[in-house]
Amino acid sequence: MSTDRETSHDMSDSDIAVLLADATDEVEIGIAPYQAVLRGGRRRRARRWAVAAATALVLAGSSATLAVAGLPGGGDGRGAVATQPPVTGTPNVFEPANRTTLATGTENGKEWRVTVDTWQAPVDTAEAEATMHAMQAYGEYPPDVRGASDLVGKIAYFVHRDYGGESTKVMENTVPKTDRLTGTDLMSGSLPLEPGGTKDVRLVIGYVAKTAQRVNCTWTNGTATVVEKAGSETGTDVPAIRSAAGSNYNWFVCLAPKGTEYQTAEVIE
């Protein structure tokens, strides 16, 4: 590592932490065949995008930490959730703002769909405890949350893939309620359409700024799928950039044709 910063032997712990953060700031960690990518040059904002699969977890961002689906208080090291407190906040905090359908289709005679659940940000610890209990009823556990206080002020997202009636949580994230994307910022993950698959990484799921009008998904055979912002009449069987109730971002899903796989995804307008 090269640096033009002058150092000395009495460097403080905070100085060392800064140097380490700078050194890892541009690193992306990934485990094939799943992929995650952050575009737009805002890596210092410590975004997290975890594929919720026991065999492959993918992270983008210098401060990312593994998010493993599991019961709070279980083997993943999270703190146990306290007994259900009285509901003190607005009712919609204690259920997903909406389960938004992002895409649908049929392949090999089986119907598939991708949905996203959005949980609103609790305003205090008591509200966060109630929210976490409500999440458990849906089988959803927020990543990077060891106790209820960690969820205060954060929105949680859970993306589900349903294929032939088998539903799997495939991606999850928690972000500050003030978090926004701008310009060509894009966060996406790719995975097989069929549960349990390790090849044919064709399904791409991501989110973009509210202002994004067009996303280009390119495939390994040199072709591309252009995904445009949905109109009022755009059905979920048409790839499109869509809003999701309670979300700071717009979302998109694209599926590579059979015989090819994901290569890149980027905002082009």
Q: What is the pLDDT of residues 140-166, one digit of tens each?
A: 988 889 899 999 999 999 999 999 999
Nearest to 156, CA basis, from 177, 137, 173: 173
For residue 23, being part of any structural domain is answered with no
* Mean pLDDT taken over the chain: 73
Which residue(s) pair with 91 in the sheet?
none
Q: Give the number of domains in the chain.
A: 1
Whole-number Å distance between alpha carbons of 142 and 221: 36
For residue 121, being part of any structural domain is answered with yes
For residue 219, being part of any structural domain is answered with yes
For residue 208, being part of any structural domain is answered with yes
Which amino acid, one-letter code, is at 67? A
Burial 40-78 (b: 16+ CB within 10 A, else e): beebebebbbbbbbeeebbbbbbebeebbbeebeeeeeb
pLDDT at 95: 66
* Mean pLDDT, residues 82-110 taken together: 68
* Mean pLDDT, residues 26-45 taken together: 39
For residue 168, being part of any structural domain is answered with yes
Residues 146, 79 contacting (CB under 8 angstroms): yes
For residue 129, being part of any structural domain is answered with yes
Provide the domain limits for residue 142. 28-267
Nearest to 258, CA basis, from 185, 200, 210: 200
* Mean pLDDT, residues 89-102 taken together: 69
The string of pLDDT tens digits covering residues 194-250 is 988 778 899 999 999 999 999 999 999 999 999 999 998 999 999 999 999 899 999
Q: Is residue 111 scored above 60 in pLDDT?
A: yes
pTM, to two decimals: 0.69
pLDDT at 92: 52
For residue 177, being part of any structural domain is answered with yes
Strand segments, DSSP code E, in 109-235 are 110-119, 154-163, 166-176, 186-191, 203-208, 214-219, 224-229
For residue 68, being part of any structural domain is answered with yes
pLDDT at 182: 93
pLDDT at 155: 94
